[in-house]
Amino acid sequence: MNRNVSIDPAVLKMLPVAREEGIETAWDRHDAQQPQCGFGLTGLCCRHCLQGPCRIDPFGDGGPQTGICGAGPDLFVARNLLRQVAAGAASHVDHAYEAVEALLLAAEGKAPYELQDSKKLRQVAGKLGIPTEDKDDRSLAKELADAIFTDFANHSGETMHYLTATAPAERVETWRNLGVLPRNPDREIRQAMHQTSMGMDADPVNLILSTVRQGLVDGYAGLHLATDVQDILFGTPQPVVTEANLGVLKEDYVNIIVHGHVPLLSEKVVEWARTLEDEAVAAGAKGIQLAGICCTGNEVLMRQGVPPATNGLAQELAVITGAADAVIVDVQCIMPSLGPVTRCYHTALITTMPIVKIPGAIHVDFTLEKADEAAQQIIHTAINAYKKRDKSRVRIPAEKTPMIAGFSVEAIIGALSKVNPENPLKPLVDNIVAGNILGAVGTVGCSNSKLPHDLLHVEMVRELVKENVLVVATGCSALALAKAGFMAPDAAERFAGEPLKAVLSAVGEAAGLGCPLPPVLHMGSCVDNSRIGELVYALAAYLNVPIKALPVVASAPEPMHEKALSIGTWAVSLGLLTHLGVVPPVLGGPQVTEILTSQPVVDLLGGRFYVESDPHKAVGTILEHIRAKRSELGI
């Protein structure tokens, strides 16, 4: 391994341990894959029928220029992209659907979950036009769940109700004019699979419009829906103080790591870990230490203060510390390699979902109705694994960084209301107008082995906040920035430009935090990109301008999962410049690339994709865009 694999010092300490132990990691497997298939990288490979696989010569040097069916390069690329975005949307919609099932079962008293946020329940119900007066929470929650399920049973041509109830009217009209408004989210995903099968749509432009529709499915039947329902069930996040990185694991404790995306399981693991801590002490430990990886880690971080161990790409290294007694996984971004890696240690790898099983793992069947029983079984398994730990193999890196997390939109508005109770957004907008806040960037998404781990997240944000750009972050991007100190109580002092620092100090003092707000606000998991959307909606409404007019940019510095493409498509559909640090497989289709990244998509939606893997060049373009938007607004 002769490349700069990471800027995270904990990762750099653990990789030599992995080599010493003879354990292969994601970085080793990345290097073994080189050179990666050029047809796949450019999107010029098709496996949609059994006549293939077909490939197209991207250079026109005499190789095939069409597939066997006659499909050309732009058709190859557009079909492949639509399938990827539909798969990303399906991941989030499935997540959200299960959350709604939990809401309904909790309302009926059939699952052991309480409704933690009555205010959010009534707000969401009201948004959908459900009367809320004189109704108890359980009755209202049942009515809300039933109303949401009507979107999944919509057999008409009517637009999905959750979208029209949530999205800005200006955007809804734009999408209606383009003919991309989704109906039943499941129907749209099914239709995308049909549309991209052999002998179907041969128009790349039409396929791109269908890709926009999938972005809207993700944004409203996935992101917004999951976030709203999870807030009702588990509470809307408020700021919490904890630490981040592998150093949060403790040598003399039973270390339990939750990994995946859905808090229905992880919230119960947290609850029962605290309840059964005496059993861990009886087994010889000082207690139970919980830690998170990836987005389920973000979920229990912002609601329960559970410290994140690392982000997705470094998940194997948490096991290689030798201190992880159990890794509990649910869905998405879980490397199959966790199976062989955990078998090198005493660590219990516990799968919980019927669609995520790993050979050699312990499977604890998690159902909503029996959530408590499953969580207790998991805790007992972790304690038993601790008894088998080889203490001579425990090597926990010392790195850990203080962080403040849990900035939901409600928490941000709450902090601003301490400055101006009657008009909380006014201080934020006034400082944007004055230039103390140049603009805002939302950094989201994954970590990717093609790039030095965390580098783009950190280097981009370092420059942005120095230039007085406020950053909000979710997912593995948020964890990268937490590990690098951008969410620490002293982060504003260390990283922010002077005007931004003054704003953060004033708001933090007024809100009673005892320190400035950090220059990077942790807003949650991948589905919580909807929180960024809500904040953007509120700013646009306050200024009475369309979203595309705002000095706001979205960025996925290290996108990896198909979900990153579906989220990015949603962001472009909102009218935002959307930066990607990794080139998606579209370069083989010049027409598709042109539409996605330049004026055609700006004319249609107001936003576009921008791809740049050099963090400094990316920041230069982002700042130029923000300044241009400020100029257009006359500020």
Q: Which pLDDT tens digit goes with each residue over 208-260?
A: 999 999 999 999 999 999 999 999 999 999 999 999 999 999 999 999 999 99
* pLDDT level of residue 138 (50, 70, 90 thresholds): very high
* pLDDT level of residue 63 (50, 70, 90 thresholds): confident
- Tell whether the model's pLDDT for residue 615 goes beyond 90: yes
Span 14-29, average pLDDT: 97
Q: Do residues 182 and 221 touch, judged by C-beta distance below 8 A? A: yes
In this structure, the strands spanning 348-351 and 552-556 are unpaired
* pLDDT level of residue 59 (50, 70, 90 thresholds): confident
Q: Do residues 83 and 196 touch, judged by C-beta distance below 8 A? A: yes
Span 396-421, average pLDDT: 97
- Tell whether the model's pLDDT for residue 1 goes beyond 70: no
Residues 457-501: tens digit of each pLDDT:
999 999 999 999 999 999 999 999 999 999 999 999 999 999 999
Residues 268-304: tens digit of each pLDDT:
999 999 999 999 999 999 999 999 999 999 999 999 9
Q: What is the DSSP string of 70-112?
A: ---HHHHHHHHHHHHHHHHHHHHHHHHHHHHHHHHHHHTT-SS
Structural domains in the chain plus CATH codes: 73-234 (1.20.1270.30), 246-393 (3.40.50.2030), 401-633 (3.40.50.2030)
- Tell whether the model's pLDDT for residue 37 goes beyond 90: yes
Percentage above 90 pLDDT, the chain: 97
- Tell whether the model's pLDDT for residue 387 goes beyond 60: yes
Average pLDDT in the chain: 97
Q: What's the predicted TM-score (pTM) here?
A: 0.96
- Tell whether the model's pLDDT for residue 2 goes beyond 70: no
- Tell whether the model's pLDDT for residue 3 goes beyond 80: no
Query: Nearest to residue 102, comparing CAs of 376, 367, 375, 377?
Result: 367
pLDDT at 373: 98
Helices (H), 133-202: 137-152, 161-166, 169-178, 185-195
pLDDT at 61: 77
Cα separation, 298 vs 445, whole angstroms: 12
